[in-house]
Amino acid sequence: MLAGCGHSEHARASGGASNTPDAAVAEPAPADRAAPEPALADPAPPSAVAPPAADAATWAFDLAWPSGERVALVGHAVGRGGWAIRDTPDGAPVAAFNVVTPTFGATAQWLAFEYRPVGSDGWQLALACARGDAFLVVATTEYEGAAWADWAVASPDGSRVAAWVLDDEHALHLLERDGDRLVVVERRHAEAVKAFPSFAPNGRLAARLPIRGEPLRFANAIDGVVGPLLDAVREVRFDARGERWAYAGCRGDAWFVFAGTGAVPSIERGPFAEVAEFDLTDGVRARVRDASGWRWIELDPR
């Protein structure tokens, strides 16, 4: 339920970009959605990696490298579907992790994360695919940065990774998988303080952006296009096909809802006192509260 517009959002972004988990961000991750078959050189066997429960505080999983090294890890929930790894076992090839973010689909499971190799001061990004009862690292960046990503998310087919990069240029980086490498192909939104990226089921990219400036403003970006600047925003919700989308945004003390099918909103409704949820199972609906009380409104983005 969305109320008390603006204050919690300002608190989340006031620290600027950092290389530590954003523990104050506590919205739940979008519901699991079906994903295409993984784009692997060899067919992946059925996965047995158990996804964490929706309300789980910790999540245990194993991470494996092609060399045969395997590490048992425990993630601690930090919101938005991310898990912080606080302790790395002795003898592991990784000295430290940042937030790891799983993408669970019907036929493929991916894990995107940032790590610092043992004996190195630099950070790298990695992509792992669920194989058997572990996540197998299948691609990494060759470049090691002084500080890479707070958040990295894999597309449903595992062909791309979106990451908020904190190195020579603070920007949302889009990486593509080329064999066992992750290659940066595009940089977006350097005007943002940081970004929380996510992918739609069809691979469309959305990002929640706190924008630099006084006062700090927020926007949602879809397919690279920044939507209206607001005092607070909530991340984009997509339908099961990844075509229609909707989100809520705040101006002053009033909430508005936005919906569309392209990169920019085609519908805006409001003001409302609160916005509780969206239903995108058949069209787009939002449950809102105004002077008449709680009600569902229909949105029909074109």
pLDDT tens sequence across 36-91: 334 444 445 456 688 888 889 999 999 999 989 999 999 999 988 899 999 998 88
* Amino acid (one-letter) located at 181: R
What 3-state DSSP class applies to 113?
strand
pLDDT recorded at residue 212: 86
Mean pLDDT for all residues in the chain = 83
- The candidate with the shortest Cα–Cα distance to 102, out of 67, 78, 70, is 78
The pTM of the whole model exceeds 0.85: no
pLDDT, tens digit (0-9, with 9 covering 90-100), for 157-179:
999 999 998 766 688 999 999 99
Query: End-to-end distance of the chain based on CA atoms, in angstroms?
Result: 26
Q: What pLDDT is stored for residue 121 in this prediction?
A: 86
More confident residue, 19 or 240: 240
Report pLDDT for 31. 35
Q: What is the pLDDT of residue 20?
A: 35
Considering only CA atoms, which of 265, 228, 229 is closest in space to residue 245? 265
Q: Residue 88 and residue 21: Cα distance in Å, rounded?
A: 16
Domain residue ranges in the chain: 1-14+213-302, 17-45+54-192
Rounded to whole angstroms, the Cα distance separating 204 from 269 reads: 24
Percent of the chain with pLDDT over 70: 81
